[in-house]
Amino acid sequence: MKLRHPEKVNNPINPIQKKPNWIRSRILDTQNYFRTREIINKKKLHTVCQEASCPNISECWSKRHATFMIMGDVCTRACSFCNVKTGKPTFLDPLEPSKIAHATKELNLKHVVITSVDRDDLKDGGADHFSKVIIETRKVNDKTTIEVLTPDFLRKGEAYKKVVNAYPDVFNHNIETVPSLYRRVRPGSRYFASVNLLKSVKEINKKIFTKSGIMLGLGETKDEVLQVMDDLLSANVDFLTIGQYLQPSVKHYPLKRYVHPDEFQKFKEIALSKGFLIVASSPLTRSSYHADEDFSVMKKLREKQSQCHLPQ
- Please return the burial class of 233, using the count of CB atoms within 10 Å of its CB with bins 0-12, 13-18 and 19+: middle
Domains of the chain: 27-303 (3.20.20.70)
Name the phi and psi angles at 197, rounded to 5. -60, -50
CB hemisphere CA count around 92 (13 angstroms):
21
Q: Which pLDDT band, with edges at 50, 70 and 90, does 302 fall under?
A: confident
- Where residue 263 falls (left for φ over 0; alpha for ψ -120 to 50; beta otherwise) is alpha
55 strand-pairing partners:
none
Res 311: pLDDT: 56
Other C-beta atoms within 10 Å of 264: how many?
Answer: 22
Closest residue by Cα to residue 29 from 54, 3, 63, 55: 63
DSSP track, the chain: ---S-GGGTTSPP-PPPPPPTT-----S-HHHHHHHHHHHHHTT-EEHHHHTT-TTHHHHHHTT--EEEES-SEES---TT--SEES------TTHHHHHHHHHHHTT-SEEEEEE---TTSTTTTHHHHHHHHHHHHHH-TT-EEEEE----TT-TTTHHHHHHT--SEEE---BS-GGGHHHH-TT--HHHHHHHHHHHHHH-TTSEEEEEEEESSS--HHHHHHHHHHHHHTT--EEEEEE----STTSPPP--PPPHHHHHHHHHHHHHHT-SEEEESTT--TTTTHHHHHHHHHHHHHHHHHHTS--
For the four alpha carbons of 118, 293, 203 and 134, in that order, the dihedral sign comes to: positive
CA angle 155/148/249 to nearest 5° reads 80
Cβ contact 299:307 at 8 Å:
no
Q: Which pLDDT band, with edges at 50, 70 and 90, does 46 fall under?
A: confident
212 strand-pairing partners:
240
148 strand-pairing partners:
114, 171
Q: What is the pLDDT of residues 150-208, one digit of tens each?
A: 999 999 999 999 999 999 999 999 999 999 999 999 999 999 999 999 999 999 999 99
Q: What is the pLDDT of residues 250-262, one digit of tens each?
A: 999 999 999 999 9
Q: What is the pLDDT of residues 231-286, one digit of tens each?
A: 999 999 999 999 999 999 999 999 999 999 999 999 999 999 999 999 999 999 88
User: What separation in angstroms does the CA of 135 have from each of 44, 199, 309?
Assistant: 20, 23, 32
- The helix-helix angle for 96-106 and 127-140 (nearest 10°) equals 40
Res 76: pLDDT: 95
